[in-house]
Structure 1
Amino acid sequence: MTIMKGAKGFKFRLFIFLLIVLIVVTALGIHHWEKETISPNNQTLNLHEYNQKCKLIIHSKQPKNTSVGKWIDNKITEVTNGSEITLKDWFAVYPHINRTSPPEGWNAYLIYWPEKFNLTLPCSIGGFTMALVGRKSGESFYQAALINETFPKHETECWDGGKGRWLELPPGKAYFAVQFIPTANTTWKLTVLTPTKTWTDFRDYHIFIETPIELNATCTCPIETLVKRFETSIKAQGFEETELWTTPGENDCFKPLSVKLYRRGDEYLYVEFAQVKGLDLVRVLMVLSEDEGVVKAYAKAFSAVGDEG
């Protein structure tokens, strides 16, 4: 009987020991899984941030036959407590032409290319995207200003001079996009552009149906979380961050949040997040090309926080 009791006691203690080992191993495994899943590529996202899905929430009825999140014109207005502040973000591409003849050598294709390359930006309320093919050099123009629409009306140019930025654009193919992300649930006034054709050779600039709209919209996650997750998704597609040629700087309208250059084989991708001062709004610039020089030229031309600004 004593031997049997001792055997039973030994088996019971062995069972307890194995149970403790199993619990410890399981806990360590869960901790390791959380580290690997929540922090891919060494990104510092906590569990709450990781579980948040970044998406645009529109709290008001959208007008019929409009697509919020794609093309809009160059003005976006935030309405808060009776005041209205507008960001005017005007950019253009001009082929070199003889004024007595039609433009030649450039085509712009009105495609929402971020979807094609799995680079869709969450929470975008709209912007402008296109693919440009230039067989000759051209020029870019970019001018930005903040406008207080309430009396007395006042306009603040984003950088010294107030005449905009003119730069040379080299020949080549580039995918170009500017998009805007609302960071607070407030009212926005903007004009949705619906393309009437898929391309232009710059002979006709009247290629959109314009629909002014007013809506309440915001993003479901903080901008810091969105930036981290978007950068992670870029790297997951094989892009690697490479050295940036410039030092982003703050100006009267914009503050840099994240500015990075990526490379994947022969492809280069420039991504710039800039906070619009005085507005609950972030401007995002993306340029993609197989020519590093083309990416740099377009980024310099249309950056809100570049050293040219």
Structure 2
Amino acid sequence: MKSVRWVFIGLILVVLIASLFVVLNEGDSGPAMLQENASRRDYLPVDCSLKVQSQHPENVHPGQWIGQDITQITNNSKIKFHDDFVIYSWTNRTTGEPKGWIAYFTYWPEKFDMKPACTLGGFATYITANRSGEGYYWPSLGNATLEIHQRMCSIRRVSTELPEGPRWELPSGNVYFAIQYIPTANSTWEISVLTPTKLWTDFKDYRIFDVKPVKLSADCTCSIETVMKTFDEKLREKGFRETELWMTPKENDCFKPLSVKLYRKGDKYLYVEFAQVKGMDLVRVLMIMGNETVVKAYAEAFTAGSVEQ
């Protein structure tokens, strides 16, 4: 039953883009583009990195795609964070093929040297769309012994196909989308490392990942404040300049925004959001790059902050 459970967790992530045509590891035509904590090792020049003290199994390598479930083990208790986000395209109901959407499994933050330091991994994709789609975001957080309905966060952004909430329209256009996770204290973590195994040619078959459960003890060699500062400096070195935000994501029951910035480089916009996952030594990093309209729409759909009126 345990193996079935892990496979199911892997499948949940794949549903994120269940209506997209995925090409594994292909290139694309897009642009190659709090106070300091004195107890941590913060110095200049800074070399922030993920320090892994132990890991089982040892032959699995975190840092890129991981499942949506992240569990922190501390004082013999387990706190579980389920980052349940979904991107829907318009699809042919019979064949499952998307209409006007193509997505690539490319870990673009690493490819473009735009990856924050110390990440356990996350999710990244590059999407081309000539028609609109929809976004879904409904995370949960709490003690792993609680039922899922007892851990649901107040954030609830759902598709029009569900009656519980409003439509979160995702406009047409090309977009780079990524969510990554950074540990902020030495702790033990349970994650699922996902490895794409084949082209997704049958849109009703979601078994395209090799799923490996991993338990590791890990920490970042820098404070999260230093990680954010050095990442901002890296982006500026690449020619991005901070511009005015159009919204201010607010703290809620599950997240506390730490840094929210909108950058611009030519006609490309980049949204970067660091948010503390409450009750865990974990920070969620949302990154979206594309034209202004696309970036703002995706940011409003998938921000960890509260933006609803």
Q: Give the TM-score normalised by the residue count of structure 2.
A: 0.79
- From 134, 141, 144, the equivalent of 2:136 is 141
Q: CA deviation at 1:202?
A: 5.1
Q: What is the match of residue 57 of structure 2?
A: 63
More helix by share: 1
Please show how residues 9-48 of structure 1 align to structure 2 within 5 Å.
48=42
**Aligned mates of 1:97, 1:167 — CA distance in 2:** 17
* Secondary structure of the structure 1 residue equivalent to 2:83: strand
Q: Of 91, 94, 97, which aligns to 1:100? A: 94
User: Identity rate of aligned residues, in percent?
Assistant: 52
Q: How far does residue 171 in structure 1 lie from its aligned partner after superposition?
A: 1.1
Q: Which moved more, 1:45-54 or 1:137-146?
A: 45-54
TM-score norm. by structure 1 comes to 0.79
Q: Deviations over 1:116-140 (max 9, x none)?
A: 2220211000110111111211111
* Correspondence 1:220-235 to 2 at 5 A: 220-235=221-236
Deviation for aligned residue 1:99: 1.9
Alpha-carbon distance, 1:226 to partner: 0.7
How many Å separate the matches in 1 of 2:148 and 2:204?
A: 35
The counterpart of 1:125, out of the listed 120, 123, 132, is 120
Gap change, CA 1:170 and 1:153, over 3 Å in 2:
closer
Tell me the distance in 2 between the aligned counterparts of 1:191 and 1:225.
27
2:108 is matched with which residue? Answer: 113
Aligned partner letter, 2:301: A
Distance 1:80 1:64, change over 3 A: closer
Output the amino acid matched with 1:106: W
| 8 A contact 2:197–2:210 mirrored in 1 | yes
Report how far residue 197 of structure 1 moved: 3.2
1:209 aligns with 2:203: no
80, 96, 118: which one aligns with 2:74: 80
- CA deviation profile, 1:44-77 (whole Å, cap 9, x unmatched): 9999532342100011135255220110111100
Determine which structure has more spread, i.e. the larger CA radius of gyration. 1
Q: Provide closer, same or farther for how the CA distance between residues 219 and 160 of structure 1 changes in structure 2, counting only shifts above 3 A.
A: closer
Counterpart for residue 257 of structure 1:
258
Structure 2: where are the runs of 5+ without partners?
1-35, 158-163
Q: What letter corresponds to residue 299 of structure 1 in structure 2?
A: A
After the TM superposition, which residues 146-225 of structure 1 pair with which residues of structure 2 at under 5 Å, given as runs? Answer: 146-150=141-145, 155-159=150-154, 166-197=167-198, 203-225=204-226
SS at match of 2:174: strand
CA 87–268 in structure 1, closer or farther in 2 if over 3 Å, else same: same
- Structure 1 pair 82/164, CA: closer, same or farther in 2 (3 Å)? farther
Instruction: Report deviation, 1:97.
Output: 2.4
Q: How far does the alpha carbon of each residue in 1:244-296 deviate from its partner, in whole angstroms, 9 at most, with x for none?
A: 1101100110000000000000111000000000000000000011x110111
Give 2:271's aligned residue: 270
Q: Distance in 1 between matches of 2:45 and 2:110?
A: 23
CA deviation string 1:89-138 (max 9, x = no partner): 01111111242343322111111101222202110001101111112111
| Gap runs ≥5 in structure 1 | 1-43
Give the conservation status (yes or no) of the 8 Å contact 2:120–2:180. Answer: yes
8 Å Cα contact 1:107/1:132 also seen in 2: yes
Number of residue pairs aligned between Structure 1 and Structure 2: 265
1:218 Cα deviation (Å)? 0.6
Q: Distance in 1 between matches of 2:183 and 2:37?
A: 21
